Structure 1
């Protein structure tokens, strides 16, 4: 159900920390599509993504007091919770075992420069932001944030030095930060 009320970010934070169910429902309606998109893109499994999304919102509800506005926007905080939860599932032994029965994960990394536009990107609500990055920057973001690869793994996959990965990743994140800060996400 779509909420008709509008709140400022400060009101959302106050309502969340006060455990206001109406505000929490609004937060869910507002942010769940974008968070779900990140989770789906990371896991490539809609069923598991639904479960993780519910866990994410439980964490948001339970840990609302840990949000610090001085460290970033509410959406960024929630996005990190979602991404980390999805990566935790992705790295879990049981999830890996399930995925081995449906496809070989090594095939994902068999081709240098593997990242192309993947299905599910339209769910992110972030696609317009990502389109503003170069292809190389999108590849780095995809490998690091959606596939859960470490910088060392990215260096091996892309066959470039680790220092280059770190520099390019920092540049991509700075570019994303600039784009996000100038838009109303």
Structure 2
């Protein structure tokens, strides 16, 4: 069985509903990173996040029939499952007891917490005018960044939606991110 390299969302959903394992592998390969990012922001610890991401994909596999196009996109549905699973996990008594028993230096010095702080600070940038920084990008770069990071499109979906080659999308996104880095590091 050869791996699947590209699936349109409708096809992916249909194959998942038929319990196609290659479609599930495709789903995991293309969405695990984004879902993991949502989870780690809630649970704060890699060990917890690893457990939750596994539970999230089992839940997606077992409940794909409940997905409805009328309520939104597959990505949004999966993000909601991940967020709720992470919150439920943190609220569980076992996790709360584990956190109470963890020594203070372990919590304060963990690199995961430092990474979380950077992530949280980056998210706050939206509230302090990051959208206005996007205005400094070329229009063709700005639309790609908005679609990828604010609307949750994959690069292949962007290419299909804008009718441009995937390689062009990848090159423009990379260029836009490099330019954003320069903008953000300019002296004020």
- Using the size of structure 1 for normalisation, the TM-score is 0.59
Structure 1 partner of 2:116: 118
Tell me the CA shift for residue 102 of structure 1.
Answer: 2.3
Tell me the CA shift for residue 75 of structure 1.
Answer: 0.7
Structure 2 partner of 1:90: 90
Identify, as 1 or 2, the structure richer in helix.
2
Aligned residue pairs, count: 128
Q: How has the CA–CA distance of structure 1 residues 26 and 120 changed in structure 2, closer, same or farther, with 3 Å as cutoff?
A: farther
SS of match in other structure, 1:60: helix
SS of match in other structure, 1:70: helix
Q: Which runs of 5+ in 1 are unaligned?
A: 109-115, 137-175
Backbone CA RMSD of aligned residues: 3.3
Q: How has the CA–CA distance of structure 1 residues 19 and 96 changed in structure 2, closer, same or farther, with 3 Å as cutoff?
A: same
Taking the aligned partners of 1:68 and 1:103, their CA distance within structure 2 comes to: 45
Taking the aligned partners of 2:118 and 2:59, their CA distance within structure 1 comes to: 24
* Greater relative contact order (Cα < 8 A, sep 6+): 1
Q: How has the CA–CA distance of structure 1 residues 22 and 117 changed in structure 2, closer, same or farther, with 3 Å as cutoff?
A: closer
Q: How has the CA–CA distance of structure 1 residues 120 and 97 changed in structure 2, closer, same or farther, with 3 Å as cutoff?
A: farther
Tell me the CA shift for residue 117 of structure 1.
Answer: 7.8
